[in-house]
Chains A and B, each alone.
Chain A
Amino acid sequence: MQLIACPWCGEREEIEFHYGGEAHIAYPEDPYALDDEQWAQYVFFRDNPKGPFAERWVHSAGCRRWFNALRDTVTHEFLTVYGIGAERPSHTSTAPAAPRAKGQEASR
């Protein structure tokens, strides 16, 4: 089973954690100023990168605290974990480039 390093509890099994979607989605400063399309963008639209992705996780069976993690969506490797209010660390994928079939090149 994959181990995830909780910033407080250290490495624990994946089943102790829950996923909270993409990180750094700020609540709109003035929600009433948004039209329906912008609101839909805020509520539903998320990045889907191939490579490092900033995500929220919660250690629900341990300290029950939320944290952010940078995970490589190609390899499932956790590149780093950081605090919930912190800036996204700059980090490029440490994973070996995944073999890409023609026509399946990553869009970014």
Chain B
Amino acid sequence: MTVETPIRFSPLSEWQDDFAQLPTGLQVRELPYLTQLTLRVAPGSAAAKAVESALDITLPGPLRAELSGDVKVLWMGPDEWLLAAPEGLQDELLAQLRSAIGDEFAAVTDVSAQRTTLALSGHLVREVLAQGCAIDLDPRATPVGSCLTTLLAQAPITLVVRGEGASSVWLLVRSSFASYLATWLVDAGTEYRGSSG
């Protein structure tokens, strides 16, 4: 009996043409297959310090993300972070963190298949998101580096502000919700088509 290796596909691989139709003020691109690890550790503990020195970052506080390095660290809860890294680094990063943590109390889990990432950019992003999301994206309320887990059009998402005034954001969405969210985004962007935007 042979076991066939299933072919990997990203949830939004078929949406590229639809995204290309969106106005220039709302550029949507899927970032498939990002390495994602969930880190559960008590802040300030020895294990947390070990992770921080291994990654050479500081674990961000509530509603913040650390975006400077290759490994982005998103705050998900008071003792929970999501590490997002380029594709294919799961095993390397897991091994690195587990050896850094050693016998201390922490958990690192590979959740790369759980979510896909949408990169949105353009001056319409804030306006379009406002149609389905109650978060205030004014730079005074959510400056660059904000990380909010909330609802967008009733779909659970994690929103990371990467550009001033939400001109560039990441939306991390569960794989099973991704096509719904893509449908919603394409629909929400329709009214701006043909405008100078």
Contact = CB atoms under 8 A, between A and B. Distances in A.
B10 interface: no
A65 B75 CA distance: 13
A86 to B, nearest CB: 15
A9 B151 contact: no
Report the interface size class on chain A: 10 to 19
A61 B78 contact: no
Given A8-B62, A10-B63, A12-B134, A64 B77 contact: yes
B63 A9 contact: yes
Q: Is the interface of B mostly helix, strand, loop or mixed?
A: strand
B63 A61 contact: no
Interface in B82-105: none
Interface residues of B, number: 12
A78 to B, nearest CB: 17
A9 B78 contact: no
A103 B156 CA distance: 46
Contacts of B39: none
B124 interface: no
Given A12-B150, A61-B149, 10 more contacts: A1-B134, A8-B62, A8-B78, A9-B62, A9-B149, A61-B151, A62-B149, A62-B150, A63-B76, A63-B77
